[in-house]
Amino acid sequence: MKEISKDIVLAAVVRSFFKYFVTGILEEQTGTDIQNRFEPINIKKTMLNHYEHISRYFNREAFFALMRLNFTTEEMEQQLREFMKPGTTDMELVRFACRTEDFYQAMVNEYKRNFELLLCGRLEQQDEHETNYTRLPEAGTIAVDMADKIIGEIAAQAYSHGKNIGKTH
């Protein structure tokens, strides 16, 4: 079974969320000419108009992705049951799902980096991503097929949420 470094997967999870969430919103815009939807000024405006939705949906979707990335199926339920308390926030769940402080900080760095690019009006290109993502080789590895599944699922969920938000706003 082929393995991939978890830091690479983490960066891809965060990048996929932003890319597909914003794409879903932009594709639903009716007041903007189709050729202008991906122009920097429109991306900036869209990000500012949907600022409050981004972290809420990211935390919800990232939690599931990060749990699968950092916990075995067998340990998920028990660990989560021990962690959960009344009033546990989505952000606390994401931090828990990261499992270590270093992994959490890497996720925060990726979130900020991707968000800042969108506020500059652009999506990160693949070559930039490969050069600039937050390295954390001590995070370990995960099976490539599981990594692909996690990334694909967060992309699909982010796109769906983006489209729904785009339709209602």
Question: Residue 31 has what pLDDT?
Answer: 77
Place of tokens 């599931």: 64
pLDDT in tens, the chain (169 residues): 899 999 999 999 999 999 999 999 999 987 778 888 889 999 998 888 888 889 999 999 999 999 999 999 989 989 998 998 999 999 999 999 999 999 999 999 999 999 999 999 998 889 999 999 999 999 999 999 999 999 999 999 999 999 999 888 7
pTM metric for this prediction: 0.93
* 103/108 Cα distance (integer angstroms): 9
Name the burial class of residue 44, with classes exposed (0-12), middle (13-18) and buried (19+) by CB atoms within 10 angstroms of its CB.
middle
| Strand, helix or coil for residue 50 | coil
